[in-house]
Amino acid sequence: MNLLLLAMGLILLGGPHALHMGPGDPNFDEKLVKGKWFSVALASNEPKFIAKDTDMKFFIHKIQVTPESLQFHFHRKVRGMCVPTMMTAHKTKKKFQYTVNHSGHKTIFLEKVDPKHFVIFCAHSMKHGKETVVVTLFRDVQAGHLTLGVKSLRALSWTSMTTGVQRQNQGVALEAGPLP
């Protein structure tokens, strides 16, 4: 049922380029996103970037928060093996916005957060004059179950829509859970 809801949400996508608003509360404490998470769903205006064994296909393990950055600890498959990787996203002057140099320059936005359940990030990258947008939904490992709640699906659909992921260019990839 959740997969059907997610598919329906992604089908309805479309809209203007993002006005990244962040988690809603301007006083939101970014430290609340620290912890163990796992990748649940991805949406992109370029589905080829979230296909199996691509740059954006990774298994999140943990997010650490420092005063200057977010550190993403994840595993990606390289030649069939899970390889641990760490990526640091540096804070910018804008609240909930970060930059990272990983496979090119990316701007990452913290979009929606329910600290005990899910977090949504939106990444924008420019390559060869073309912008790629990837919206990622992470689920809290401590949540105890793998089902996607309606709230997290709506948040993913809304974020995807407002970041320019068009319905004809959507893509989604579901993961089974925490690290393989």
- Listed by start position, the domains of the chain span 2-9+34-168
Q: Average the pLDDT over 47-53 and give the result.
A: 68
Q: Average the pLDDT over 163-178 and give the result.
A: 44
Q: Which amino acid makes up residue 76?
A: R
CA atoms within 13 A on the CB side of 119: 24
pTM of this prediction?
Answer: 0.71
Instruction: Give the pLDDT band of residue 70 (cuts 50, 70, 90).
Output: very high
Residues 6+ apart with CB under 8 A from 73: 60, 61, 62, 63, 64, 84, 85, 86
Mean pLDDT of the chain: 71
Write out pLDDT tens, residues 140-162: 877 655 455 545 455 555 444 44
Question: Residue 89: how many CB atoms within 10 A of its CB?
Answer: 23
Instruction: Give the pLDDT band of residue 110 (cuts 50, 70, 90).
Output: very high
Q: What is the torsional sign of CA 169, 106, 137, 155?
A: negative
Query: In this structure, what token pair is assigned to residue 66?
Result: 């420092």
CATH code, 2-9+34-168? 2.40.128.20
- For the stretch 127-149, what's the b/e string if a residue is b when 16 or more beta carbons lie within 10 angstroms of its beta carbon? eeeeebbbbbbbbbbebeeeebb
Query: In this structure, what token pair is assigned to residue 69?
Result: 């950055």
Residue 122 buriedness (CB in 10 A; 0-12 / 13-18 / 19+): buried
φ/ψ of 168, rounded to 5, equals -80, -10
